[in-house]
């Protein structure tokens, strides 16, 4: 087997199952709420906890991928995930679920490893498309929404966790034996040197952009099942299938965003992305009681967030060709955190106000800020080589 050709499909598939593990608690949230008598806030925290570690650890794992190689680090991650999956299956209290949910969050770091792995072995002119395809591993959250409720209903809640061990072991074998080693960097950077990217304004600009686009993707992917059950009284299986539709659409839009970034410039793509997200969030805020309007607005947000995710990560290797791992980790971390806070905030807002309106108003405000910032920072320079103004 040609390991170079196998790299993109294997890493994409490995990230898909890693993301399915990362989102495993989301379709089960309403079930656990009934089992343990949880409040909306407690349920939201359980769903969001895996996102926390998976976000924070993206930065060091992005840097370590540059140092020790994607094949080794990805294999170690997959091996580690087996432990919390076993533990979560035996959990018999809300506290134990929270404990194992935290460590299951490491599955989210697969993004930083995979993106760095692929970008380092892909020619610059093809990076936008390749990274867009690779990031379709986000489809894993849809895999969780599709499969987890049915597995839990058929075999029991414990097997929703234990069953995920099988694909993780398969991907461990494929990554270890059938992907190439990354070329060693000419000069090993210290952690301090790797973190020097923090001094660039575009590091923070891209972090904010991804905080909103990927944050919206993660937040909707993990909280939409609970939201649909709460708003419309749907069954967990029905809500999970509908939420999976959001994830599938957003995931399919991601490589389109990367490809459009290659062709017309990621800056132009982001202009349309943030305008569309602002409109979609406002529509949901004022018409969420209508399930058809809610569905249409969610689908718009799915497309826009997917396009935005692809466009942002077209800019990362373009702006920072020598520090892709560090910037990928940092931007990815902020994106993950963007998915951590909204579910908790939504739970608190619902408990305090009895409605989700304020939460979607805040989303529209953040997307509007990104729209304006994109126009200010990149608007006049669209079409120029981005790395000319990376400092």
pLDDT of residue 185: 63
Q: What is the average pLDDT across 60-71?
A: 83
Instruction: Give the C-alpha separation, 111 to 116, whole Å.
Output: 8
All structural domains of the chain? 3-177+193-389 (1.20.1250.20)
Q: Would you say residue 387 has pLDDT above 70? A: no
Average pLDDT, the chain: 84
What is the three-state SS of the chain? CCHHHHHHHHHHHHHHHHHHHHCCCHHHHHHHHHHHCCCHHHHHHHHHHHHHHHHHCHHHHHHHHHHHCHHHHHHHHHHHHHHHHHHHHHCCCHHHHHHHHHHHHHHHHHHHHHHHHHHHCCCHHHHHHHHHHHHHHHHHHHHHHHHHHHHHHHHCHHHHHHCCHHHHHHHHHHHHHHCCCCCCCCCCCCHHHHHHHHHCHHHHHHHHHHHHHHHHHHHHHHHHHHHHHHHHCCCHHHHHHHHHHHHHHHHHHHHHHHHHHHHHCHHHHHHHHHHHHHHHHHHHHHHCCCHHHHHHHHHHHHHHHHHHHHHHHHHHHHHCCCCHHHHHHHHHHHHHHHHHHHHHHHHHHHHHHCCCHHHHHHHHHHHHHHHHHHHHHHHHHCCCCHHHHCC
- Residue 266 — very low, low, confident or very high, per pLDDT cuts 50/70/90? confident
pTM > 0.75? no
- Residue 195 — very low, low, confident or very high, per pLDDT cuts 50/70/90? low
Please write the tens of the pLDDT for every residue from 89-107.
Answer: 999 899 999 999 999 999 9
224 burial (CB, 10 Å; 0-12 / 13-18 / 19+) is buried
Q: Residues near 166 by Cβ (< 8 Å), separated by ≥ 6? A: none
Q: Would you say residue 157 has pLDDT above 50? A: yes
Residue of 242 and 80 predicted with greater confidence: 80
- Residue 188 — very low, low, confident or very high, per pLDDT cuts 50/70/90? low
Q: What is the average pLDDT across 321-332?
A: 73
């Amino acid at each position: 087997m040609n390991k170079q050709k196998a790299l993109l499909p294997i890493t994409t598939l490995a990230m898909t199952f890693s993301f399915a593990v990362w989102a495993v608690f989301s379709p089960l949230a309403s079930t656990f709420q009934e089992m343990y008598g949880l409040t909306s806030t407690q349920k939201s925290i359980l769903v969001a906890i895996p996102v926390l570690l998976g976000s924070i650890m993206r930065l060091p794992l992005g840097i370590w991928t540059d140092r020790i190689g994607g094949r080794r680090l990805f294999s170690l991650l997959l091996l580690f995930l087996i432990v919390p999956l076993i533990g979560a299956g035996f959990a018999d209290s809300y506290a134990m679920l929270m404990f194992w949910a935290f460590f299951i969050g490491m599955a989210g770091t697969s993004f930083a490893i995979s993106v760095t792995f692929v970008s380092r072995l892909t020619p610059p002119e093809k990076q936008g498309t390749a990274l867009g395809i690779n990031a379709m591993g986000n489809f894993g959250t849809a895999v969780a929404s599709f499969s987890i409720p049915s597995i839990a209903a058929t075999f029991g809640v414990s097997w929703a966790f234990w069953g995920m061990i099988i694909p993780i072991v398969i991907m461990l074998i494929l990554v270890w034996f059938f992907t190439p080693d990354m070329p060693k960097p000419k000069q090993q950077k210290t952690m301090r040197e790797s973190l020097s990217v923090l001094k660039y304004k575009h590091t923070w600009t891209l972090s904010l952009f991804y905080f909103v686009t990927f944050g919206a993707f993660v937040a909707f992917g993990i909280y939409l099942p609970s939201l649909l059950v709460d708003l419309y009284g749907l069954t967990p299986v029905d809500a999970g299938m509908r939420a999976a539709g959001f994830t599938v659409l957003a995931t399919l839009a991601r490589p389109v965003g990367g490809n459009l970034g290659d062709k017309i410039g990621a800056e132009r793509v982001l202009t349309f992305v943030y305008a569309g997200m602002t409109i979609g969030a406002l529509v949901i805020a004022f018409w969420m009681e209508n399930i058809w309007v809610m569905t249409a607005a969610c689908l718009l947000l799915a497309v826009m967030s997917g396009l935005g995710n692809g466009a942002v990560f077209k800019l990362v290797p373009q702006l920072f060709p020598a520090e892709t791992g560090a910037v990928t980790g940092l931007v990815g971390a902020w994106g993950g955190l963007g998915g951590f806070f909204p579910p908790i905030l939504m739970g608190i807002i619902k408990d305090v106000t009895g409605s989700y309106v304020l939460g979607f108003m805040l989303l529209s405000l953040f997307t509007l800020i990104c729209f304006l910032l994109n126009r200010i920072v990149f608007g006049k320079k669209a079409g120029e080589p981005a790395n000319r103004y990376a400092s």
